[in-house]
Amino acid sequence: MARVYFLLGGNLDNREEILSEAISRMKLRIGECTASSFIYETEPWGFEHEQNFLNQVVVIETRLEGLEILDITQQIEKELGRVRKKNQYSERTIDIDILFYGDKIIATDRLVVPHPRIQERLFALVPLLDVAPEFLHPIINKSIKELHATCLDTMEVKKFKE
């Protein structure tokens, strides 16, 4: 069994309902959810939009491999109205990122784990602090707590709902 850390986020439609539905579908298709963070609200990262994002980290225990999980999460995104645009940073109903797959390092043309920019993004690190503050990044070899303390991102990440 592997412990997989996911970051979910979205800023279109009923943001909270879509997060909840994405997690329900992930539980059915990927595995048992063992932890989830609070929900946080942040401004869009890398682009401008009038609606803020809701973000949440969930931890799921699974027997599936990384690429299988990627296929499933992309299908869930599509089912929940995600439209992929050429610009990497844009508004969306849901985005499901695989942050960590245990302490494995995966580097393929479709999937890179750990997520390559996690240490630069408070909207990922803050919810990770809720569920895994001592987890060690397998490449950088620092805990989530240490990465958070040294992150240069100045974006405000505020609790939306507990």
> Does the annotation mark 82 as catalytic?
yes
The two tokens of residue 97 are 């990122």
> Does the annotation mark 117 as catalytic?
no
> Does the annotation mark 13 as catalytic?
no
- Which residues are 39's β-sheet partners? 161
Of the candidates 25, 95, 121, 153, the residue annotated as catalytic is 95
Q: How far apart are CA 159 and CA 76, in angstroms?
A: 25
Of the candidates 3, 15, 84, 97, the residue annotated as catalytic is 97
Q: How far apart are CA 47 and CA 50, in angstroms?
A: 10
Question: Are 59 and 131 in contact, with CB atoms under 8 Å apart?
Answer: yes
> Does the annotation mark 92 as catalytic?
yes
Of the candidates 15, 92, 121, 153, the residue annotated as catalytic is 92
Of the candidates 13, 15, 71, 82, the residue annotated as catalytic is 82
- List the one residue out of 124, 99, 132 whose CA is nearest residue 114: 99
**Ramachandran region, residue 67 (left: φ > 0; alpha: ψ -120 to 50; beta: rest):** alpha
Q: How far apart are CA 130 and CA 32, in angstroms?
A: 18
Catalogue the active-site residues: 82, 92, 95, 97
